[in-house]
Amino acid sequence: MPNRLSRALTTPWPVSDDPRSGLAFQVAQWSSLNPGSSGVEIRVLGGMAVRTGRDSLHLGTPKQRLVFGMLAVDAGRLVTLDSLVDELWPESPPRSAVANVRTYAANLRRAFATAGGEAAVVRHQGGYQLSASLEAVDLFGMQRQFAQGRALADTNQGAAAIRVLVNALGRWPGPLLHGLPLGPTLTARREAVDGEHEEAVLLLASLYLSSGQPERAVALLRPHAARHPTGERLQAVFMQALLACADAAGAVAVYRATRAALAEEMGVRPGPTLDELHRVAIKAARPLPSAVDRPGASRPVTQPARWLPLPTSDFVGREDVLNRLSREIKERSGRAAAVQVIDGMAGCGKTTLAVRLAEMLWAEYPDGQLFVDLRGHGEAAPLEPAAVLLTLLRQLGVPPGRVPPDLEDRVDLWRRELAKRKVVLVLDNAAGIDQVLPLLPRGAGTAVLVTSRSRVLATEFGVPESLGVLSRDEAMSLLASTAGSDRVLAEPDAAEEVVRRCGHLPLAIRLAGARLAHRSTWLVADLATRLADERGRIGQFAVGDQTLAGAFATSYEPLDDQSRRVFRMLALHPGDDLSQPMAAALADLPLPETIRILEDLIDRHLLEETASGRYRMHDLIREYAGEMSRLVDKPEALLEATDRLLKLCLHAALSVAVVLEARLGGKRLAVEPTFRSDLLAAVEPDVEWLERERTTLTALVAYATEAGRDELAWRLARALWRFFYIRTYFDDMLSTHRYGLLSAERLGDRVAVAQMQNYLASACVRTGDYPEAARLVESAVDIYQALGDVRSAARFRANLGVVYWLTGRLEAAVRLGAQMRRDVLLYGHDWIDLVLPNHGIALAAVGRYAESLELHRLHLFLARLEADQFQLLNALGHVGIVRSKMGDHLPGIRIMQASLRLRDRTGHRYGEPELRVELGVALRELNRLDEARHQHETALRLALDNGERHAQCAALNELGTTAGAQGDPLEAILLHEQALKLATRIAHPQEQARALARLGDLMTSKDRDEARRLWRRALAIFERIGGPEQQRVRTLLSD
């Protein structure tokens, strides 16, 4: 560990996070100081300048100006030498840093001494101070006016408040120290000052609205709304002002722009306030109806989701069926979800018909076309409803973290999302009623097309469309479209024999026609003869239907040896579709040669192109290819092909993982450093590649374990972990790491077992299975201790702190944190950024706030040393939370808001729901209830999107408390009951106890006995876990 880090761990860090920037404090300070002018004007807003009389003071180099900026924003207060060094050189200060700062300060002292006047830079032991009245610094004068305006507004002196705020905002020159390269302290201060400015703008706009001057509010807000497109409060007031000016269309435009900005920059939807204003604006706008925008029609809430496969170019016939079904669905759509089952034998064209019908219904269902293959018939097991719902919700654009783990909750979310939209849903290849029922919507607005080979669905959903084979004329037209109309017209009898041999099945006719199209010298009669021969030769082939198998064979047999081998290898791919590089890996061929063969297979209708460069096999053709592979290929050749695919995906995934996870060391996970660089280059792996191939990669881990390719299985699972974690694909994380753990155990690789246990535990934490998470991490730690790997054991042990905290083992979490800090000093590893916050959180949970604050301040100091923005925002958030818990609400709020602004700037959202929960609590303590509610509602929405159920519990509890404070006890009870139900489900005792205690508070006036029963239950939990809230509950029970 570097020396400076060792010193930091044993030396207190001086940090300034006092409430000096709070408005009330500034007013008090202003009135307590000498009101007379000092003859010096110090400007730090909109840039930096100092005037003494008529002369401007030269402040020197940028770094010297930065030193003066630090002194000016803390005028009258000692600024330590250490904090000046940190500000000027946040990453790596030179050896001469202290001497340089002293030189800059000496230059400033001389400049002020020469200029004369009452202002001076004064040297003290350990730092410097700007001796000047706050009146001389424009920042404090501006803050004084902001505070005066708020005070006047709070006492219903609206006209006077408007005059003060107009004067202040009219003189606002710009951001704090504009143009200077700020370090972390001044950056946070600038963010706080910007926030105060925005609050003043919103206050003035609200005063304009309440005094009947909405046009002034619009003029004031328009430039600010353009600069801050994701500021929901700002946009809400702007919408109110536009509505007050009867500009409903403008309000709708503001909402849509805000919704787009929130989705793009933060991945969230607008809050309920904006949604309600949007509904008001839509109603007020009353757009004229048109063919697309009809009265009563539901409008898309997002960009339309289009997930249908590419339509078949040679679709013929069935026109009467399509027209009739389209008409019937439109007639039923207003009453309930229109469900239409299409059943029939394999290869009769059910999927093609359903896709065609879905395209025809586009105008009636403009918000989306969804499609999923349920795999109800084939070698692989049918998809479980839970997995199907995840796919469908992702098609709708729902973030994966918002998808709950339980099937019942997924069904509820799916139906709520469909209720907002008008979509057509194709459920292809259904196995039976149990697979389909959870996928159906409850209300009108959705057309559902279900295809199946089974008729068991008919009894539940009314009369199915039982699709037969093509008529003679339709079959002949299809053969003509694939083989050429001239050849069919020249030999009508032979053509009729071909379609008869194909059983009038569309799939078989397309295959036969494609073969004839590739044999220009053949007569149609030659094809008929070969169809008869192939059908006789395949006998009891496993595909089951000799007609289809014969058609498959007539397309397969003419292929050259290499193309037949590629066709067979493609059946090994476990996903829904595959890319060209994956096909080349399976075939062990150069990419250009593979692409040529793939295109030939498409021409012969043995393969479908789902999108540019992506392919899939019909399940019947896949079954045929698999059977041929088992008959022809040696088992070792099939395993080698699968290994090539696994290695390609492993190396591609690793190349992304080392970017997402800087500490990952990819060497242990790699198997062949030089594997097929041409294919890796063609894959172009990045996060979006992982997203596209997610289902394939997940299936590959399972396939590798089941096939005994254990070395590849656990490595691929580990390489995918970070992607699954940041995209909140916890189902996939659980699945892949369980398979990876099984493979690691089978190998007897104890290090691999520990890795799988640790990262599987992270998924258990995020899905609420805390006991299993604790068991897995403890086992991983035991393995590393037994192996003598103390560093790794200590690193994994750090993860237990979070698990202990969530499961209510608070004292154990505190003891573990202390042990981890000792480990850091003993072993010198670089996981201090995990140890300090976890230990600080545990200390705060048991009420040891002063110790917690010391650790979080140290974390903040180290983050500044390393210029680590993520750790900086994380530490700022924790410092602000603890300050607020200690009763310092104003500085706590300021620091938490600075953390949120850094999150906005960097895009890091880790821990944001918890931070907003605590920010809302602090605002509630100051009786700023509307702001508190906004923070709690935002926290709940983010927690739902991220799948963080422990944060959902906290948000529900605090939102309930805020609702009670706003005078809505019924809503408060409902929210606390939701929190209690969820906390009980995920075994989160702290939030269980909080929900019980607060329900007791709400029942006091109605049923004192019930209140005491709830308090007793809460106290029992608090006493068991050691929560600081137990004293309050004990006092309530003693009254």
Judged against a pLDDT cut of 90, whether residue 557 lies above it is answered with: no
pLDDT beyond 70 at 674 = no
- Render pLDDT for 742-788 as a digit per residue (tens, 0 to 9): 999 999 999 999 999 999 998 888 777 888 998 999 999 999 989 98
124-168 tens-digit pLDDT:
988 999 988 888 888 888 889 888 989 898 888 888 889 889 888
Mean pLDDT, range 367-378, rounded to an integer:
85
**Dihedral sign for Cα atoms in the order 406, 412, 418, 420:** negative
Predicted confidence band of residue 1015 (pLDDT cuts 50, 70, 90): very high
Share of the chain above pLDDT 90, in %: 27
Q: Averaged over 670-683, what is the pLDDT?
A: 78
pLDDT at 825: 67
Q: How far apart are CA 880 and CA 927, in angstroms?
A: 18
Is the per-residue pLDDT at 378 higher than 80?
no
Check whether 879 has a pLDDT greater than 90. yes
Stretch 387-408: mean pLDDT, rounded? 84
pLDDT tens sequence across 98-113? 888 999 899 888 888 8
**Rounded average pLDDT over 627-640:** 90
Which pLDDT score is estimated for 404?
79
Paired with 315 in beta bridges are none
Residue 920 has a pLDDT of 96
Determine the pLDDT at residue 826: 61
Highest mean pLDDT among 370-379, 455-464, 974-983: 974-983
Residue 322 · residue 474 · CB < 8 Å: no
pLDDT attached to residue 734? 93
Which one, of 730, 76, 756, lies nearest residue 386 by Cα?
Answer: 730
CB-based contact 26:140 (threshold 8 Å): yes
Give the separation between CA 453 and CA 345, rounded to whole angstroms: 5
Alpha-carbon torsion, ordered 890, 892, 895, 896, to 10 deg:
-110
Contacts of 283 (CB under 8 A, 6+ apart): none
What is the per-residue pLDDT for 296? 32
User: Does residue 259 register a pLDDT over 50?
Assistant: yes
| pLDDT for residue 544 is more than 50 | no
Q: Is the pLDDT assigned to residue 663 strictly greater than 70? A: no
| 413-430 pLDDT tens trace | 898 888 888 899 999 988
The rounded radius of gyration (Å) of the Cα atoms in the chain is 34
Question: What pLDDT digit, counting tens, does each position of 775-829 carry?
Answer: 999 999 999 989 988 778 877 887 887 788 777 888 888 888 888 887 766 655 5
What 8-state DSSP symbol labels residue 402? G
User: What does the block give as tokens for 236?
Assistant: 């809400």
438 DSSP 8-state letter? G
Phi, psi angles (nearest 5°) of residue 342:
-120, 110
From residue 282, alpha-carbon distances to 293, 302, 407, 825, 1027 in Å are 13, 16, 35, 62, 48
Tally Cβ neighbours within 10 Å of residue 43. Answer: 17
Cβ–Cβ < 8 Å for 574, 703? yes
Q: How far is CA 330 from CA 297, 360, 445, 469, in A?
A: 13, 11, 10, 26
Considering only CA atoms, which of 575, 678, 568, 666 is closest in space to residue 622? 568
969-1001 confidence digits (pLDDT tens): 888 998 999 999 999 988 888 899 999 999 999
Length of the chain: 1039
What pLDDT score does 135 carry?
82
Q: For position 67, what pLDDT does the model report?
A: 92
Tokens representing 303?
């960009």
pLDDT at 958 over 90: yes
With contact defined as beta carbons under 8 Å apart, do 203 and 150 qualify? yes
Amino acid letter for position 241: A
Mean pLDDT is lowest, of 138-142, 248-252, 728-732, 934-938, for: 248-252
Which pLDDT value is given to residue 37?
41
Which tokens belong to 770? 């805390």
Q: How far is residue 230's CA from residue 266's CA, in Å, rounded to a whole number?
A: 8
- In eight-state DSSP terms, residue 228 is -
* CA–CA dist 939, 911 (Å, integer): 10
Confidence band for 347, pLDDT divided at 50, 70 and 90 = confident
pLDDT digit string, tens, across residues 59-76: 888 888 899 999 988 888
Cα separation of 992 and 986, whole Å? 10
Q: Which residues pair with 579 in a beta bridge?
A: 614
Residue 28 phi, psi (nearest 5): -65, -45
User: How large is the average pLDDT for residues 453-479?
Assistant: 76
In this predicted structure, the answer to whether residue 537 has a pLDDT above a threshold of 50 is no
14 pLDDT tier (thresholds 50, 70, 90) = very low
673 band by pLDDT with thresholds 50, 70 and 90? low
Q: Is the pLDDT of residue 8 over 50?
A: no
pLDDT, tens digit (0-9, with 9 covering 90-100), for 604-627: 778 877 777 888 887 777 878 888
User: With bands split at pLDDT 50, 70 and 90, how would you rate the model's confidence at 34?
Assistant: very low
Q: Which of 66, 65, 46 lies closest to 182 in space, CA to CA? A: 66
| Mean pLDDT across 873-886 | 94
- Calculate mean pLDDT across residues 16-20: 36
Predicted TM-score (pTM) above 0.85: no
264-312: per-residue pLDDT in tens?
Answer: 777 778 888 888 888 787 666 533 332 222 223 333 344 577 888 776 6
Q: Give me the chain's average pLDDT, please.
A: 82
